[in-house]
Amino acid sequence: MAVTSTSGTQAVTQAAWQLLQLQQAKQFAERAAQNARTLQAKANDAQNQADRAQESARTVRVDANQAQSVAIEADRGVRATESSSQIGPQIVNKVTQTVQAQVAATEVQAQTPPTVNTQGEAIGTVINVTA
């Protein structure tokens, strides 16, 4: 009768099983490392996009502030123009009245006979001054 050793076969089977488990663990570790590298690359890409978006937001904010300053300045210009257009006719009216008054005064002076001294010479216009 032949004697077979089941303990030897079990040892070989157990060693093969452990080798198989070790290979699977290595493959799993390699896949996990690859996944980690992929996720790290995606995270870096997302961070870069976020940085660009933040820089873009800063640029837009600066542009918006500049646009607001231009709008405020334009509004001031419009208000100044409106004010000038309202004051302009008043000034023209006042100048016209002043000129008309001066013309009237000149006409009155032209109609008033000159003052003559005792020798009969014209000596100018009499100005009434009260002290």
Report d(CA 7, CA 14) in Å as an integer: 10
Residue ranges of domains in the chain = 10-112
Report d(CA 49, CA 22) in Å as an integer: 40
Report d(CA 129, CA 131) in Å as an integer: 6
**Tokens 């996720």 map to which residue?**
39
Q: 48-86 pLDDT, tens per residue?
A: 999 999 999 999 999 999 999 988 998 888 888 777 677
Report d(CA 123, CA 129) in Å as an integer: 17
CB 114 within 8 A of CB 123: yes
* Single pTM value for the model: 0.45
Q: What is the pLDDT along the chain (131 residues), one digit of tens a residue?
A: 455 556 778 888 888 999 999 999 999 999 999 999 999 999 999 999 999 999 999 999 999 999 999 889 988 888 887 776 777 677 777 878 887 877 777 666 656 666 667 776 767 655 665 65
Using CA atoms, how far residue 39 sits from 46, 114, 125, in Å, is: 10, 109, 105
3-class DSSP state for residue 110? helix
3-class DSSP state for residue 122? strand
Torsions phi, psi for 39 (to 5 deg):
-65, -35
